[in-house]
Amino acid sequence: MKRISAGAVKFQFWFTEFVQAMGMANDNDDFTVLRQQILAENTFHASSHARLITTTGVVLRRVGSLTPAMRALFDQLDPVNQRIMNLIAIMNTEQLMYAFMYDVFRPELILGDRQIEAYEMAAFFKKLPLTHKEAAHWTEETLRRLQSTVAQYLRRAQIVKDYKDTLVVENYLLDERLADRLREENHLDYLAILTGRTS
């Protein structure tokens, strides 16, 4: 089982930065050079140098997790599917988010319920220390902040909306070209997460 990390308590969806980095990577896929350029020019307009270092590292790791063919598709997608590609990159680089999407989000689509109740979210995080020993020492505050981060990712991806204490899954349409790319890259698990089906 892959290890999970609590590092995401410091992360955001960073879609604007992701779009910028995707464009830069199309022109130059040397990520060392890209990192130096972003840090030198404060491309992401971060409020502090420390924040810029964190944002740059996370965003470039997300972009770098995508294959060249996946990155080439980005500009052809509508904004919703571009956000979904960012979410895919987050799942690639943050095992906790992948686990949540597979264990909690995917069943909502398969069963047709399409509502992530507050108790379902809480139950996922409560069992983390039982399924991942690295989470055993996490504090309640850390778990609460991670829960907030996951919910924020879903909202920023625009695949859920808030209704009282529930996250309701939106009726988004996964671009068939993105679905085909996931199939080509043998990511039927991601296809199931995003559509509730594997074909």
- One-character DSSP codes across 74-113: GGGS-HHHHHHHHHHHHHHH-HHHHHHIIIIIHHHHHHT-
**Separation between Cα atoms, residue 155 and residue 105, nearest integer Å:** 13
CA neighbor of 115 nearest in space, from 166, 45, 162, 64: 166
Over residues 56-79, the pLDDT tens digits come to 999 999 999 999 999 999 999 999
Over residues 138-197, the pLDDT tens digits come to 999 999 999 999 999 999 999 999 999 999 999 999 999 999 999 999 999 999 999 998
Over residues 32-46, the pLDDT tens digits come to 999 999 999 999 999
The confidence score (pLDDT) of residue 117 equals 96
**Separation between Cα atoms, residue 28 and residue 16, nearest integer Å:** 19
The confidence score (pLDDT) of residue 19 equals 98
Q: Is residue 1 over pLDDT 70? A: no
CA angle 10–33–81, rounded 5-degree value: 55
The confidence score (pLDDT) of residue 159 equals 97
Over residues 82-136, the pLDDT tens digits come to 999 999 999 999 999 999 999 999 999 999 999 999 999 999 999 998 989 999 9
**Separation between Cα atoms, residue 24 and residue 140, nearest integer Å:** 39
